[in-house]
Amino acid sequence: MYKSNRIWACIIIVTVFTFIFVHSSFSASSEEITRLQQSLQIAYRNYVDASTLGGPNCAEAQKWFNDYQNLAKKYNELTGGSEQVSAPSDVASDAQGASSADSYKKPNIFNKIGYQFLERLKVLLNKVPSHVNDFALGEMNFVTGNYKDALTLYQMAQRKAELDGKYYYQSIYWQGRCYLEMAKTASTESERIALYKKAQERFLNVSMNLLLKNNRNQQEKMYEQDSTNLVIQIKRYVGSQNISIPNPPSNNNSDNGNNITSNLDDNSWQKELRYDYMISDKAYIDTNSMSRNQIQNFLSSKQSVLSRPVDGKYPADMIYEAAHKYGISPKVLLARLQTEQGLVTKKTATQKQLDWALGCGAYDGGNWNTKYQGLEKQIEYGAKTMRNHYNIGLSKLSNQESIPMKIDGETIKIKNAATYAQYMYTPHKHGGKLFRSIYISFF
């Protein structure tokens, strides 16, 4: 009897410890999955932000895309590729303040209802048109312009597919297309923006979840690429700036939003040196501040080496073209050329000084990237770099009053995008002060 009691006691103890171990392992695994989901959302959001500012092929966008893919691999290993990722809540919410409940979340049916009830529900659903039939009916309504009914049918198709354990990305994608079409006839600007943001949430959902897949077929690649492009395009229109949207987004990228500024735009920077406000946004991106001939005349008046052709082309043409391509003031480019190498006032210059005029690709370690070598490349990539920094500054200031930056050991609360771009290009106070003094003395 005593031995029997001991055996039972051991069995109970082993069972309890096994349960505790398994439970704790499951909890740890759940926590890891949750952390990975959050990391995926952050990586994707940063990928979209970088793509919106610099294009999907820019270095920062590719960096975040690679991070997303690496995280997705870990996520698939933990979940077996069966879990979906919901859209980031800050992007998914619409202009009317809709909660994240409006965004897509795959329901865990087995945690809510019993298995037998689920089977009976499936039998009942089989007596009505399937999710494929609903999708087909939605297509018929879409092509005839009945977008509200098409949206309802696509939503029904999505819900029925979820009950069957399927991720019906096509139905979610076409819900987004319905919202885009409905935005065309919106009666107010706020309603139009709300519809665009609802569309963005659907495309975001499709893009994120298809990017998770290790092996995508051709159709999935097409839906993922189109969804990602639409997320980026919509963000350009209805991002933090709330710009007016006369028409739905298209593939026309001719308008880069080059005239957007942050709220601060006074002239105090011209009267006194302010490390938190070195130059106004308006002055920084005023592409029309100088014509091509005015640039040439200015360089000639300084008897500059840049007043003469370099490698068969006038620097005035290089400056004018880069300024208009990237939305940077020619005055800013001239002041920067003087700040870096003093080329505006130099009558002669070495080939090395011309080849690395703006310091692009000239790294401190001495390993200089020849991709950026040459005056024309320096001016082009310099303008592009300035604009990218400026755009990132705009993005950061969209939800905060200032950008705290550690400059020369001191925290400076940057007030506008142009000043942020200045410090990102030259991360010390002396460089900013020199640029400002040159700009004011020149213009």
Residue 94 falls inside a structural domain: no
> Tens place of pLDDT for every residue, the chain, 443 residues?
444 544 554 444 444 444 334 334 444 367 777 777 777 777 777 777 777 777 777 788 788 877 777 877 777 777 766 667 766 654 433 333 333 333 333 333 333 334 444 454 445 445 444 667 677 777 777 777 788 888 988 898 888 888 877 888 888 999 999 998 898 888 888 888 889 888 888 888 888 888 887 777 877 888 888 888 888 888 777 754 433 333 333 333 333 445 556 656 678 899 999 999 999 999 999 999 999 999 999 999 999 999 999 999 999 999 999 999 888 999 999 999 999 999 999 999 999 999 999 988 876 666 788 888 999 999 999 999 898 888 778 767 766 788 999 999 999 999 998 999 999 998 899 999 999 999 999 99
Residue 71 falls inside a structural domain: no
Residue 230 falls inside a structural domain: no
Residue 212 falls inside a structural domain: no
Residue 394 falls inside a structural domain: yes
What's the domain range around 272?
268-442
Residue 430 falls inside a structural domain: yes
Number of domains in the chain: 1
pTM, two decimals, is 0.47
- The whole-number pLDDT of residue 262 equals 61
Residue 405 falls inside a structural domain: yes
Q: What is the 3-state secondary structure (H, E, C) of the chain?
A: CHHHHHHHHHHHHHHHHHHHHHHHHHHHHHHHHHHHHHHHHHHHHHHHHHHHHHCCCCHHHHHHHHHHHHHHHHHHHHHCCCCCCCCCHHHHCCCCCCCHHHCCCCCCHHHCCCHHHHHHHHHHHCCCCCHHHHHHHHHHHHHCCCHHHHHHHHHHHHHHHHHCCCCCHHHHHHHHHHHHHHHHCCCCHHHHHHHHHHHHHHHHHHHHHHHHCCCCCHHHHHHHHHHHHHHHHHHHHHCCCCCCCCCCCCCCCCCCCCCCCCCCCCCHHHHCCCCCCCCCHHHHCCHHHCCHHHHHHHHHHCCCHHHCCECCECHHHHHHHHHHHHCCCHHHHHHHHHHHHCCCCCCCCCHHHHHCCCCCCCCCCCCCCHHHCCHHHHHHHHHHHHHHHHHHHHHHHCCCCCEEEEECCEEEEECCHHHHHHHHHCCCHHHHHHHHHHHHHHC
Residue 34 falls inside a structural domain: no
